[in-house]
Amino acid sequence: MNSQPVYNLDEIIKNNLDSEQWKQFKRIHYGRIDHGELQLKPSTIEESKKNGFEVAAFSVDAAKEVRTTNIVKVGLIQHSIVLPTNEPIVAQKRAVFDKVEKIIQSAAAEGVQILCLQETWYMPFFLCTREKQKWEEFAECPKQGQSTQFLRKLAKKYNMVIVSPILEKDEGVWWNTAIVIDADGEYMGKHRKNHLPSVGSFSETPYYAPGNTGHPVFQTKFAKIAVNICYGRHHALNWLMFALNGAEIVFNPAATISEFGESFWGIEARNAAIANGYFCCSINRVGTERFTTTTNQDITRSYYGSSYVTAPNGCRTPGLSRDKDGLLIVKMDLNLCRQVKDHWGFPMTSRLELYAKELRDKSL
């Protein structure tokens, strides 16, 4: 029996509007009529079909000015796991490595300079099982871990900055962490997830500790970047601190299901981009993950992908598929960050001292 196609919002709307209505929808919903779609190389299209992932590419320009353009090409990868969750962990990781490497190769062929993977990209998101010990092999050392060493080679080979969200283990403590590898393949540093959910089956506090690395911004070869991991997108001050620390691009790698806020998936990062004057890149995994616990409880989690990018002027790209592996490429002019800040004056009128006093008083 053929399964019903899974449509994202973009497809649903487009399929039910005439050309003029679709034009006006794009103007309002995306912030511009023309998506700035980029032409892909024939080899990229061929590789995507061969390896079963979609590719979409767009550009976001800034107004011409005295300063030279500051263009960087960013790539986001969403994907499903490969093997059943009861397979040996070493085999599960290797299978995801093989899948992701093929997508990274296509990203490199298209000139991607900064690439971000989804939250804990090399493993199933097993936290819904409420079991810990059986998954321990997925936890890694940030510098010497298998996934970091794997990606360091690719970063150096392709002259590409790579953001790798991992499950970190440090002196027996687990952390939800994002590793940043610079374009020379060198480890730059890490950010640990600041805010942990404890909502329904999304209860992460029994697994790892709340982050203690603050809000670091990494001066990579191509841009100043930061990482706001998953649940952190629900906290406006989290976004703000990355802006105050100078971020030009903030990545939001996630693992989230439809029942857990799909209705505001397309809103929060967009709001953050506008309020803070930087680019926001939202990445969510796809696919269905099935678990059987040691008490023989069967658990199923399905993810909805829909990765997208928002510019500081509020324009956003269409989202990737809700159910397919995908690579989203965006060529962005970082001069737009300063242009938007100058136009709206949000930093100038922010009155941080007022909020600092009230926050200090409330936290006592």
Q: Using an 8 Å Cβ cutoff, are 225 and 233 in contact?
A: no
Mean pLDDT to the nearest integer, 263-270:
94
Per-residue pLDDT tens over the stretch 51-75: 999 999 999 999 999 889 999 999 9
Residue 3 has pLDDT above 70, yes or no: no
Q: Mark whether 193 is an active-site residue.
A: yes
Mean pLDDT to the nearest integer, 157-180:
97
Res 4: pLDDT: 66
Per-residue pLDDT tens over the stretch 131-143: 999 999 999 999 9
Per-residue pLDDT tens over the stretch 340-359: 999 999 999 999 999 999 99
Residue 264 has pLDDT above 60, yes or no: yes
The model's pTM: 0.96
Q: Mark whether 11 is an active-site residue.
A: no
Q: Which of 119, 248, 268, 289 is catalytic?
A: 119
Q: Which of 116, 128, 230, 337 is catalytic?
A: 230
Q: Which of 193, 268, 315, 337 is catalytic?
A: 193
Residue 268 has pLDDT above 50, yes or no: yes
Q: Please, what is the average pLDDT of the chain?
A: 95
Q: Mark whether 119 is an active-site residue.
A: yes
Domain range annotation of the chain: 1-34, 35-363
Token pair 């009529």 in the structure block, residue: 33
Per-residue pLDDT tens over the stretch 326-337: 999 999 999 999
Q: What is the CATH number of domain 35-363?
A: 3.60.110.10
